Amino acid sequence: MRNHLSLRSGNPALNKNTFKGLHADNSQIMTIDGTVNKTSLALIILLFSSYYTYSTSNTSFIFMGMIAGVILAIVTIIKKEWASITVPLYAICEGLALGGISAIYDNMYTGIVQQAIFLTFGIFIALLFAYKTKVIKATENFKLGVFAATGGIAIVYFISFIMSFFGSELSIMNIQNASMVSIGFSFFVVIIASLNLVLDFDFIEEASEAGVPKYMEWYATFGLLITLIWLYLEILRLLAKLQSRRN
């Protein structure tokens, strides 16, 4: 295992203790190819699930999908060996929620969902290529910077969440706030969410080298899903703000 495996990631599912104490025999170890296959399957499940609520404009599943997704996420983090069951279920639940959210955005701004999907997968493929070709390297300073920025964004989210109980929110979180400050904040969040993918790739590569159990392929898939869902939602928010500015 590389020496910097113990360092940080902005992803709550892939942190410094994720692979600690995990060992497997040579016939049942995590591989990059296995992780790629499982990630592809999970994304297909999520897309089909989200298409159902999106195509029917069924927003009633948003809250249920989000709550079930949070519960499954907690279970997956605590019981990593159950990931082969919990992660596909997590993809279904998150897909139901994302489909409903996407339908709301699409009703407000036609075509925005297709743009967000294209940009999300485009960023994912571009950063994966950049990581594999060593154009971007997950150095210790890089990790520290992304971790700190992600933590700062999390604080902003938390403050806005607390304010929502009082019928308010931070103005920079409002999708109809088309000010340059608000758009700049969303653009910054999209960049940080994207860079978290690089940290996810790095953790997955290190885990495969460390010989952790094969069920961790599903767990690594779970970590990637968290980042991709965050990235997609933030791209939606950014595009909505840009549309509001044009209008």
Q: How many CB atoms lie within 10 A of CB 101?
A: 22
Place of tokens 């709301």: 104
- The DSSP output letter for 60 is T
Alpha carbons 159 and 151: distance in angstroms, whole number: 13
Q: Three-class SS of residue 213?
A: strand
Question: Radius of gyration (Cα) for the chain, nearest Å?
Answer: 18
pLDDT band at 6 (very low <50, low <70, confident <90, very high): very low
CB neighbours of 37 closer than 8 A, spacing ≥ 6? 217
230, 193 Cβ separation under 8 angstroms: yes
pTM of the model: 0.88
CB neighbours of 246 closer than 8 A, spacing ≥ 6? none
Q: Give backbone dihedrals phi and psi of 213, rounded to 5 degrees, phi first.
A: -60, 155
Q: Give backbone dihedrals phi and psi of 169, rounded to 5 degrees, phi first.
A: -160, 165
Q: Three-class SS of residue 11?
A: coil
pLDDT band at 17 (very low <50, low <70, confident <90, very high): low
30, 206 Cβ separation under 8 angstroms: no
- What is the pLDDT at residue 13? 63
> Measuring CA to CA, which residue among 117, 104, 115, 195 is closest to residue 149?
195
CA 51 to chain CA centroid, Å, is 18
Q: What are 183-213's pLDDT values in tens digits?
A: 999 999 999 999 999 999 998 888 888 888 8
Alpha carbons 102 and 26: distance in angstroms, whole number: 43
Q: What are 33-80's pLDDT values in tens digits?
A: 999 999 999 999 999 999 999 999 889 999 999 999 999 999 999 999
Q: What are 106-152's pLDDT values in tens digits?
A: 999 999 999 999 999 999 999 999 999 989 988 889 999 999 999 99
- What is the pLDDT at residue 4? 43
Number of alpha helices (DSSP H) and beta strands (DSSP E) in the chain: 7, 0
